[in-house]
């Protein structure tokens, strides 16, 4: 497995592979990998086949963090990530620096960003106003650098995946975006690099996200008519906040195609939620 650290080297290699007729599969990550990430690498291999080339980027992207968020303490372990990618069968690892990805930014010489203006205005976009500008910008740059035919994202970040799919469509990127299922711990908690922040008591409370999602699904599917969203949100918020360190940021029910909020909830809609457990903000979503 090759580790590539410069944009120029990555573009040269990608160009060589494409001229050789090799399909490139790609998994963008911020590192501190877990089994959910590895499942995306395995999915990428299935997409491009044994003759294809698959790779992972590890880059903690500063432009998607707000000024009071956890950029400086986001977990990092490149040696472990490298080992996991090698064991998963990745062919390359792209590990750029901030100076490579945003040349001249500190001096004000970087000023081009990619902005999606509709899907990014709700849920995570409302709670973290600059977040998706950073996501779309870095993913667009990575697509131009790595030149993948297929890129694989996880369904845990449902809104992010929808925005990237919209960006790819609107800007005519020649990339197929594949969204793979959320991987979960045995007790239902969605796998996330930020789970590392939780102490044992908080980790036990964090399962409330998946429990609330399961409750919502059961309620909606058992109802004979659409369920009022406001009442269901209140019920789920009360359930979650019974946990002593849990605080709901948002709970939303929406059309999975448009991300538009629904006043009445019925099967087939999507539910997303963000919850602080202690100082750690966790997200999850489920199809109802």
Contact 45, 63 (CB under 8 A): no
The residue from 27, 30, 36, 37 that is catalytic is 37
Phi and psi at 277, nearest 5°, equal: -115, 105
Contact 41, 165 (CB under 8 A): no
pTM to 2 decimals?
A: 0.95
Whether residue 172 is found in the same domain as residue 247 = no
Whether residue 207 is found in the same domain as residue 170 = no
Please check whether residue 41 lies inside any domain of the structure. Answer: yes
Whether residue 249 is found in the same domain as residue 163 = no
Please check whether residue 197 lies inside any domain of the structure. Answer: yes
Whether residue 95 is found in the same domain as residue 206 = no
What pLDDT is recorded for position 106?
81
Please check whether residue 54 lies inside any domain of the structure. Answer: yes
Tens digit of pLDDT at every position of the chain (288 positions):
999 999 999 999 999 999 999 999 999 999 999 999 999 999 999 999 999 999 999 999 999 999 889 899 999 999 999 999 999 999 999 999 999 999 988 888 899 999 999 999 999 999 999 999 999 999 999 999 999 999 999 999 999 999 999 999 999 999 999 999 999 999 999 999 999 999 999 999 999 999 999 999 999 999 999 999 999 999 999 999 999 999 999 999 999 999 999 999 999 999 999 999 999 999 999 999
Please check whether residue 223 lies inside any domain of the structure. Answer: yes
Across 30-116, where does the E strand assignment appear? 53-58, 92-94
What is the domain count for the chain?
2
Distance CA 144, CA 240 (A): 42
Q: Phi-psi bin for 164: left (phi > 0), alpha (psi -120 to 50), beta?
A: alpha
Domain boundary among 180, 205, 234: 180
Q: Which domain range does residue 214 map to? A: 193-287
Length of the chain equals 288
Whether residue 233 is found in the same domain as residue 115 = no
131 in active site? no
Distance CA 55, CA 150 (A): 11
Buried b (16+ CB within 10 A) or exposed e, 140-176: bbbbebbbbbbbbbbbbbbbbbbbbbbbbeeeebebe
Whether residue 101 is found in the same domain as residue 37 = yes
Q: Measured in Å, how far apart are the chain's first and last C-alpha atoms?
A: 40
């Amino acid at each position: 497995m090759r580790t590539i650290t410069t944009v120029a080297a990555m573009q040269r290699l990608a160009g060589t592979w494409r001229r050789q007729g090799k399909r490139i599969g790609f998994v963008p990550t911020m590192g501190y990998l877990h089994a959910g990430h590895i499942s995306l690498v395995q999915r990428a291999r299935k997409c491009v086949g044994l003759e294809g080339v698959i790779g992972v980027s590890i880059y903690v992207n500063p432009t998607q963090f707000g000024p009071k968020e956890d950029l400086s303490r986001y977990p990092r372990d490149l040696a472990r990530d490298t080992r996991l990618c090698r064991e998963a069968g990745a062919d390359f690892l792209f590990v750029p620096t901030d100076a490579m990805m945003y040349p001249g930014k500190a001096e004000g010489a970087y000023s081009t960003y990619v902005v999606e203006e509709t899907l990014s205005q709700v849920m995570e976009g409302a709670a973290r106003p600059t977040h998706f500008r950073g996501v779309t910008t870095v993913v667009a740059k990575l697509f131009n650098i790595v030149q993948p035919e297929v890129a694989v994202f996880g369904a845990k970040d449902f809104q992010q995946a929808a925005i990237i799919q919209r960006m790819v469509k609107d800007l005519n990127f020649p990339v197929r975006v594949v969204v793979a299922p959320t991987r979960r711990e045995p007790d239902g908690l969605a796998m996330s690099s930020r789970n590392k922040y939780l102490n044992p008591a908080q980790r036990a409370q964090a399962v409330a996200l998946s429990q609330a999602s399961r409750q919502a699904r059961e309620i909606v599917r058992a109802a004979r008519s659409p369920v009022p969203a406001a009442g269901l949100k209140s019920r789920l918020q009360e359930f979650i906040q019974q946990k002593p360190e849990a605080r709901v940021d948002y709970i939303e029910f929406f059309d999975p195609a448009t991300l538009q909020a629904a006043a009445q909830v019925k099967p087939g809609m999507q539910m997303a939620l963000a919850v602080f457990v202690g100082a750690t903000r966790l997200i999850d979503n489920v199809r109802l």
